[in-house]
Amino acid sequence: MHEEDGYQTRRAISRRRALRGGALGVAGLAAFALACGNDDKKEQGAATTTGAATATGGQAGAATAAPSAEQPKYGGILNQRLPNDPDRMDAHQSTTYVTVWPFAAPIFNQLVQFDPDKPGDKFEDITADLATKWEQPDGQTVRFTLKPGVKFHDGGILTSEDVKAQLEWIITPPQGKVSPRRQALAAIDKIETPDATTVLIKLKRPNPSLLMNLASHYFGIGSAKDLKENGEIGPKLIGTGPFKLKAYERGNFIELAKNPEYHMQGRPYLDGMKFFMVRDYTSALTNLIGGQYHLFYESVFTPSDQERVKKESGGKFEAEAVPSTLRSPVFMNARRKPYDDVRVRQAISLAIDRDAAIKVVKEGFGRRGGYMQPGGAWAISEADLKKFDGYDKPDLTKAKQLLQAAGVTSLKAAMPTRTDFKPFAELIKDQLAKIGIDVTIDLSDTATAQPKLQNGDFDVSAWLIGLNVDDPDATFAEVSTSNAVRNWSAVKDPKIDELYDKQSVITDTAERKKAVQELEKLALERFQIVTAFFDDLPFARAKTVRNFKFHSSLYTSRRMESVWLAG
């Protein structure tokens, strides 16, 4: 078969590379035990039995004892699939992982990053990237010390001016550009550059969420020169990252090549990465089974499809699902009667069978949650969550009583939503029918459906919301506060705003967590939205991929500098 040949060549190359790599004496390699040699078959066998644990090899410079018995190999191209073209080349103007994976993560570095080894993406997992050190001399100043001598792809040296220029670009983009995440940096007052390797960020107020945001791939640092000349980091993509853009054929593929002068010595291991744009999920799945990709993600990649991939690929792949910040809520338009009545919204919550929803819509790849990622750093406990109506078990009798008490006998509800949310919308229609709410689903594309929700032109809507990090500021400013961008239900409560402002400036994590949980409970009590479930992100990985972990966010840990291919 065609692909087999590819693997053969790659193997030969990686053997040669491995020898060269060994001669280089790369720092951090000591952390690995001696490799078991060149017997590819034996390696593959080992991978099969140890499963995911094999892939937890140490990161660059990390002093953790690596359970892997393998020595990293150089060479090879890592192949992935994207469902479509990135909407633009500058990720700062984009809002999709499709842009982040090829054009942000591998090509740029951020100030800080989430430890690629720790899939939870928690505050304490933030680690060095361009900044080797960051400290807070006072609550309203953050000082970053940059790694010296970091080179851009065009040969320029990264300085604090570049960081300043990029962050300022995000806060106030030039005429004609959009910056969808400027809100995340709203607390920044000014940025100072006392010397070439020091960045001082002055804040208007304490802002513990700042680092969380800066650590996602969305905040990659481009060169000041490029920004000045072209107004964006767009088509040129001059970054400091381990890979450079080699070729981009729209609708076809994106090819990245290794940056031999990457500032982390001995990285990356890969010669390059290739992304193939394949729209059709069924065809993409077939290609995956045929071995055309090393890593695979798709929101509708169900457990049964995962099983199929494992089986039909002859065990070449392993698959998993990772808890995420992606949630499927139902909005209820409180500008309209009877949804302004909390009892009606509560009844809707009681009608939705969370277990059935997870089973039917996600084939089990989901979990109950409220606002913060379930099981994450901030969320209330499951026991606490279940105290809110509907978040434990559905109760149709109580739901009907509540509707009756609110004076609702029969109700017709218009539900505009996006075509890709169809399975969830159908489920909600089915479940609300049981309490006498007759939902009419109106499916359309984003450009049609989203304005309807923004303008309050709906009764209820089943939607899906993804956040790039599990962060309280980001979460509640998205769906809960009075001026939240997606408080489409328009259930506004000054108490929520007050608690939001309160938690946002607490720098002590434990104390902030308490405040956040208080906020989450209050929001749940108002039934602003009814969250049916949080998605688990389904992935597949070829067993030859080493040193890669799937994270709970699609926007972290995609740089691949320490990833290598065995066999």
Using only the alpha carbons of the chain, give its radius of gyration. 24
Nearest residue (CB) to other proteins, 248 versus 564? 248
Contact between 436 and other proteins by CB under 8 A: the answer reads no
**Cβ–Cβ < 8 Å for 511, 259:** no
Binds other proteins by CB under 8 A, chosen from 39, 154, 249, 501: 249
Pairing between strand 272-277 and 77-82? parallel
Binds other proteins by CB under 8 A, chosen from 32, 134, 281, 388: 281
DSSP assignment of 373-428, as one string?
PTTSSSPPPHHHHTTSTTSSS--HHHHHHHHHHTT-S-EEEEEEEEGGGHHHHHHH
Binds other proteins by CB under 8 A, chosen from 40, 320, 384, 442: 442
Non-local CB neighbours of 14 within 8 Å, separated by 6+ positions: 73, 74, 75, 76, 565, 566, 567
Query: Segment 102-161, which members bind other proteins (CB under 8 A)?
Result: none
Judged by phi (left if over 0) then psi (alpha if -120 to 50, else beta), residue 28 lies in left
Binds other proteins by CB under 8 A, chosen from 267, 429, 513, 559: 429
Contact between 84 and other proteins by CB under 8 A: the answer reads yes
Q: Nearest-5° angle of CA 252, CA 256, CA 262?
A: 170
Binders of other proteins: how many residues, by CB under 8 A? Answer: 78
Binds other proteins by CB under 8 A, chosen from 79, 160, 197, 487: 79
Angstrom distance (rounded) from CA 524 to CA 140: 31
Query: Segment 467-526, which members bind other proteins (CB under 8 A)?
Result: 467-468, 474, 477-478, 485-486
Stretch that binds other proteins, among 36-44, 204-212, 353-361, 399-407 (CB under 8 A): 353-361
Nearest residue (CB) to other proteins, 30 versus 485? 485
Angstrom distance (rounded) from CA 541 to CA 294: 6
Nearest distance from C-beta of residue 431 to other proteins, angstroms = 8
User: By CB neighbour count within 10 A (0-12 exposed, 13-18 middle, 19+ buried), where does 455 fall?
Assistant: exposed
Binds other proteins by CB under 8 A, chosen from 23, 229, 250, 510: 250
Contact between 448 and other proteins by CB under 8 A: the answer reads yes
Query: Segment 170-229, which members bind other proteins (CB under 8 A)?
Result: 175-176, 178, 180-181, 183-184
Contact between 314 and other proteins by CB under 8 A: the answer reads no
CB atoms within 10 A of CB 359: 15
Nearest residue (CB) to other proteins, 264 versus 415? 415
Report CA 41 to chain centroid distance, whole Å: 34
Query: Segment 25-44, which members bind other proteins (CB under 8 A)?
Result: none
Nearest residue (CB) to other proteins, 234 versus 329? 234
Binds other proteins by CB under 8 A, chosen from 422, 492, 502, 521: 422
Nearest residue (CB) to other proteins, 429 versus 559? 429
Pairing between strand 126-128 and 437-444? unpaired
Nearest distance from C-beta of residue 455 to other proteins, angstroms = 9
Nearest distance from C-beta of residue 293 to other proteins, angstroms = 8
Instruction: Report CA dihedral (366, 367, 369, 374) to the nearest 10 degrees.
Output: -100
Nearest distance from C-beta of residue 481 to other proteins, angstroms = 12
Contact between 558 and other proteins by CB under 8 A: the answer reads no
Non-local CB neighbours of 401 within 8 Å, separated by 6+ positions: none
Contact between 459 and other proteins by CB under 8 A: the answer reads no
